[in-house]
Amino acid sequence: MPLYKTVTHNTTTTLFIWKIDESLQTLESSILLNEHSQNRINGMRSVSHKKGFLAVRKLLKVAGLSDFDLYYTKDGKPHLKDGRQITISHSFEFSVIAISDTEIGVDIEKNRDKIQRIASKFIGKESDYLIDEQLTEQLTVIWGAKESLFKIHPDGGLLFIEHLPIDEFNLYRKQTRGHILKKPFNESYNIYFDIFDGYTLVYATNELKN
């Protein structure tokens, strides 16, 4: 399938979303990988992970880039050689990249009730505003928001319960605020989210929408 959706946050931040319905062979035949990426995909056992990885490279092409414009640092974070920020996520049928001139983190998750079973591992003060009728959707937004903030933070070592509080939000407004509170880091970010096709897309940025 071609590009599923483009989200133009503002003039310097864009998200590209790919819905994966191609075979692994189709994806492999249409993408040229650098040596590092080829070694990575050769080491993957899961077909789903391979397809998600390759779909990210399809999105790079849509954005006017290629796998050769992308590199990873020792902490596993992706970077673009032109100096812009990039963040990546994929889950089952979807892959997403966000490219920005400023800090950004993105996450996409399939909405599944099983997230309720692990809520105690990442929910802190957020428990005060959770609603039973919206629990799966709210938990998925919160998880995605914390994952997005984790990708922004430069040093790692974050505890999702303690260091990444997410403000109360309304599912229909599709935005909130999230915070990274780990000394000496004390920063707040705008959190935006969207729910579609049984998935939740979340991204964090310090830029406002146009």
State mean pLDDT over 59-85. 95
| Domain locations in the chain as residue ranges | 3-102, 107-205
**pLDDT, mean of residues 55-62:** 97
Rounded (10°) CA dihedral 39, 107, 102, 161: -110
Mean pLDDT of 180-199: 95
Distance of CA 119 to the CA centre of its chain: 19
At 133-179, the pLDDT tens digits run 999 999 999 999 999 999 999 777 899 999 999 999 999 999 999 99
Q: By mean pLDDT, which of 28-32, 177-181, 199-203 is the weakest?
A: 28-32
Scored b (16 or more CB within 10 A) or e, 198-209 reads: ebbbbbbbebee
CATH T-level fold of 107-205: Ribosomal Protein L22; Chain A (3.90.470)
pLDDT at 198: 96
CA dihedral sign, ordered 86, 77, 73, 49? negative
- How far is it, in rounded angstroms, from Cα 136 to Cα 116? 7
Model confidence at 208: pLDDT above 90? no
What whole-number distance in Å separates Cα of residue 149 and Cα of residue 181?
A: 11
Which two structure tokens, joined as six digits, stand for 28? Answer: 């492999």
Best CA proximity match to 166, nearest among 105, 112, 113, 117: 105
Token pair in block for residue 37: 């990426």
Average confidence (pLDDT) over 8-24: 96
Q: Rounded mean pLDDT of 113-135?
A: 97
Check pLDDT > 60 for residue 98.
yes
pLDDT at 1 over 70: no
The type of residue at 125 is K
Distance between CA atoms of 177 and 173, rounded to whole angstroms?
12
Is it the case that residue 75 has pLDDT exceeding 90?
no
On the question of a cis peptide bond just before residue 78, with omega within 30 degrees of 0, the verdict is: no
The residue whose two tokens read 């079973």 is: 117
Mean pLDDT of 90-112: 97
Q: What is the mean pLDDT of residues 71-81?
A: 92
Task: Tell me if 3-102 shares its fold with 107-205.
Answer: yes
Confidence tier at 128 by pLDDT (50, 70, 90): very high
Query: What percent of the chain has pLDDT above 70?
Result: 100
- The CATH topology of domain 3-102 is Ribosomal Protein L22; Chain A (3.90.470)
Q: Which three-class secondary structure state does DSSP give residue 79?
A: strand
Task: Tell me whether strands 199-205 and 185-196 are parallel, antiparallel or unpaired.
Answer: antiparallel
Average of per-residue pLDDT values in the chain: 95
